[in-house]
Chain A
Amino acid sequence: MNTPANLKYTKSDEWFDPATGKMGLTDYAQNQLSDIVFLEILVEVGDAVEPGKAIASVESVKASAETYAAAKGNVTAVNSALSDKPETLNSDPYGDGWMIQIEGGDFGDAMDAAAYEEYCAGRTH
């Protein structure tokens, strides 16, 4: 499981980069979902987001899931290329798989990498 140390993580498996303001789906989540076949980003540039607000809808061959904002702020960019190549979420979740970028970036009580790893370890039986 890949959990870069510079990122913040949520219990609902999103990551947030405080340096760039980008957010997306974690490596753990893409692995659990398996092959992702559909993505729809639900917010636009200029929208205000905050933790708990759905920013994207993701479908894999196994399940569909909502992705929630990992931090609070205004959307400055949306990775519109992603919906044509949703498999990028599997191959590069922390790079080209970023979903939206925000300014502001208050990530509240999001976890650091070590805490998120521990959280995920507690979820597998």
Chain B
Amino acid sequence: MTETTSPKIVEPTIFDLSSPGRTGVTFPASDVPEAGLPPKGLLRSDLPLPELAEVDVVRHYMHLSKFNYSVDSGFYPLGSCTMKYNPKINEDTCRLPGFLHTHPLQPIETVQGNLALMYTLQEWLKEISGFAAVTLQPAAGAHGEFTGVLIMRAYHKSRGDTKRVKMLIPDSAHGTNPASSGMIGLNIVTIPSDERGNVDLKVLKEQCDDTVVGIMVTNPNTLGMFDENIEQVIKMVHDCGGLVYGDGANLNALLGIVRPGDLGIDVMHFNLHKTFAVPHGGGGPGSGPVGVAAHLADFLPEPLVGIVEEENDEEPPLFGFIKPEKSIGRMKSFHGHFGGGLVRSFTYIAMHGPDGLKDIAQYAVLNANYLLARLRDTYHVPYDRICMHEFVAEGQFAGSDVRALDIAKRLMDYNFHPPTNYFPLIVHEALMIEPTETENKDTLDAFADALIKIADEAKTSPELLHSAPHITPFGRMDEVKAARELVLCCWLPENYDENA
């Protein structure tokens, strides 16, 4: 196997492929009066727009698309991201003309189907999670966190309880938790994990006082562990007057088994793009609805979808928009990611039904435990007990300079997407593996076999790992250069001033 970091297949940029005069579109003769151009100072002549025929454009992007790895092309065990297979029927429904060709500012009488879908999805998410009310507005998970924490702050403020400035966050939390609270101006207090991966109750107790806004818990946490003391954690925070935020990123492990609202969690975001099969990666579209318990329902963002006229003998109910009494305001223009997120997730939930949703959680947990059982003798697992939908192993071996990154890159040579690495931070050289419920035993075995083989290679030929990947169009990327030199442009205008 040759070791190289130079690309094996080179696809020129679309600018390199451009040739003056080539064109993909012929404009018809203008059927409106000619208008003058804007003043000269507003026009730029240095824009290097590529000129190509349609066939050249199609081939260029087809070539690029083949460099991609996706959940449609192979196993994608990206811990904390729930990269499950997304059923293709979701693509059919979100392209139904009635959904596709609507505008968010249409009169409600003309979009009753859309509103009925949103209302029903709100009701289903309430039933799944045990919350009293749900907003579909937030654009993604972290946006949902931000919304939820604003609601928590508004709740305390409405009671005249203005001393509360402290958000408690376990050290295994997603980085978005402290970021969301920090953006709202709260002080972050980190709560360590105990030796079993649970929230350390002793430290929590010391921190629980009348300045606590709340705690942000992820359960199961990012170690893939169900917090064995979750009810105690919730009670301790409630007893000091704080609220409990649930990070719903790992809801896939609980569907149909445990409802966060029943546990006493006050507010939680859903990641529709994880749990409910909306394609994700590459920046979106996500969807992060937020559910709240009854005492927080009045604070939800406006507008919610509701019934504005009850049904009667002749007419079905009229769906429309309602404003919660003490609403924190709007969190997003229009109504959330309707087609991208809401229609797909509605379809997914409808296709599964209650029993199907329960199967999802059970198979996700079974698959993760199967992989854990196959790998724990080869890779050290620091928090080793029955896991939920994912687990975290160490990508390092005694006496070897092979690190988690090398193992992750080498997996690409076996045609697997690498797991999440270096997260959570409390595990050295973390490899965070989440198989999801959609993979069969053959795939899981092939993946486990590859990781076991790589562990062997780490001993016999570590250089193979250090220089991986070998079979991809591009070899090992220079991550340090990428992080230090933040230049994404392939061209810069001639008069570009980098100090501007």
Which residues of A are in contact with B by a Cβ distance under 8 Å? 32, 35, 37-38, 59, 61-64, 86-87, 124-125
- Interface residues as binary, B354-383 with A (CB distance below 8 Å gives 1, 0 otherwise): 000000000000000000000000001010
CB distance from B478 to the nearest CB of A (A): 10
**A37, A59, A63, A125: which contacts B380 (Cβ < 8 A)?**
A125
A-B contact count (CB 8 A): 24
Q: Is the CB of B425 within 8 A of A63?
A: yes
Chain B residues, CB < 8 A from A35: 479-480, 483
Given A124-B428, A125-B382, A125-B428, A61 contacting B480 (CB threshold 8 A) = yes
Q: Is the CB of B479 within 8 A of A61?
A: yes
* Contact status B428-A61, CB under 8 Å: no
Q: Is B394 a contact partner of A37 (Cβ separation < 8 A)? A: no
- Whose C-beta in chain A lies nearest to the C-beta of B175? A64
Tell me if B414 counts as interface (CB < 8 A to partner A). no
How far is it, in angstroms, between the C-alpha of A103 and the C-alpha of B425 when the chains are bound? 34
* A37 with B422, Cβ < 8 A, contacts A124-B428, A125-B382, A125-B428 known: no
Determine whether B484 belongs to the interface, using a CB cutoff of 8 Å to chain A: yes
CB of B483 within 8 A of CB of A63, answer no
In the complex, A125 Cα to B379 Cα: how many Å? Answer: 12
Subset of 5 A-B contacts with CB under 8 Å: A35-B479, A61-B479, A61-B483, A87-B480, A125-B428
Q: How far is the CA of A63 from the CA of B316 in the complex (A)?
A: 54
Q: In the assembly, what is the distance between CA of A25 and CA of B484, in Å?
A: 20
CB-based closest 7 A-B pairs = A37-B483, A35-B480, A62-B422, A61-B479, A37-B484, A61-B483, A63-B425
Given the complex of chains A and B, what is the CA–CA distance between A57 and B428 in angstroms?
20
Q: Is the interface of A mostly helix, strand, loop or mixed?
A: loop
| A28 to B: closest C-beta gap in Å | 12
**CA–CA, A22 to B97, complex, Å?**
67
Among B175, B380, B422, B483, the residue within 8 A (CB) of A38 is: B483
- Closest-CB distance, A53 to chain B (whole angstroms): 13
B contact residues, range: 10 to 19
User: Is A125's CB under 8 angstroms from B479's CB?
Assistant: no
Q: Which residue of A lies closest to B427 (CB)?
A: A125
Residues facing A in B417-460 (CB within 8 A) are 422, 425, 428
* Complex Cα gap A38–B480 (Å): 10
**Complex Cα spacing A87 to B484, Å:** 10
Whose C-beta in chain A lies nearest to the C-beta of B421?
A: A62
A124 CB contacts on chain B under 8 angstroms:
428
- Chain A residue numbers with a CB within 8 Å of B422 are 62-63
Determine the chain A residues whose CB is within 8 A of the CB of B428 once the complex forms. 32, 124-125
Complex: chain B residue closest to A61, CB-CB: B479
Q: How far is the CB of B427 from chain A (nearest CB, A)?
A: 9
In the complex, what's the smallest C-beta–C-beta distance from A52 to chain B, in angstroms? 12
A86 to B484, CA, bound (A): 9
For B215-245 the 0/1 string (1 means CB < 8 A from A) is 0000000000000000000000000000000
Contacts of A64 in B (CB 8 A): 175
Query: Given contacts A61-B483, A63-B425, A125-B428, could you give 14 more A-B pairs where the C-beta distance is less than 8 Å?
Result: A32-B428, A37-B480, A37-B483, A37-B484, A59-B483, A61-B479, A61-B480, A62-B422, A63-B422, A86-B484, A87-B480, A87-B484, A124-B428, A125-B394
Question: From residue A67, how far is it (CB to closest CB) to chain B in Å?
Answer: 15
Question: Please, which residues of chain A bring their CB within 8 A of the CB of B483?
Answer: 35, 37-38, 59, 61
* Nearest CB on B from A54, distance (A): 11
B382 proximity list for chain A (CB < 8 A): 125
Least distance between B196 CB and chain A CB atoms (Å): 16
Residues of B within 8 A of A32 (CB): 428
Count chain A CB atoms within 10 A of each CB in B382, B394, B480 and give the residue with the most. Answer: B480
Interface residues of B in 161-180 (CB under 8 A from A): 175
Give Cα A94 to B475, complex, Å. 34
Q: How far is the CA of A87 from the CA of B422 in the complex (A)?
A: 20
Give the complex CA separation of A48 and B394 in angstroms: 40
A125 to B381 Cα, complex, angstroms: 10
Q: How far is the CB of B187 from chain A (nearest CB, A)?
A: 12
Residues of B with C-beta under 8 A to A59: 483
| B480 proximity list for chain A (CB < 8 A) | 35, 37, 61, 87
Chain B residues within 8 Å of A86, by CB: 484
Docked Cα-Cα span, A64 to B422, in Å, equals 11
Contacts of A38 in B (CB 8 A): 483
CB closest residue in chain B, given A85 = B484
A37 to B485, CA, bound (A): 9
Chain B residue nearest to A60 (CB atoms) is: B483
B487 to chain A, nearest CB (A): 14
Q: Across the interface, which residues of A come within 8 angstroms of B394, CB to CB?
A: 125
**Chain A residues near B484 (CB-CB < 8 A):** 37, 86-87
A124 (CB) vs chain B CBs: closest residue: B428
A109 to B495, CA, bound (A): 56
For A87, the chain B residues whose CB sits under 8 A away are: 480, 484
- Distance from A79 Cβ to chain B, minimum over Cβ atoms (Å): 18
Mask, B378-392, CB within 8 Å of A = 1, is 001010000000000
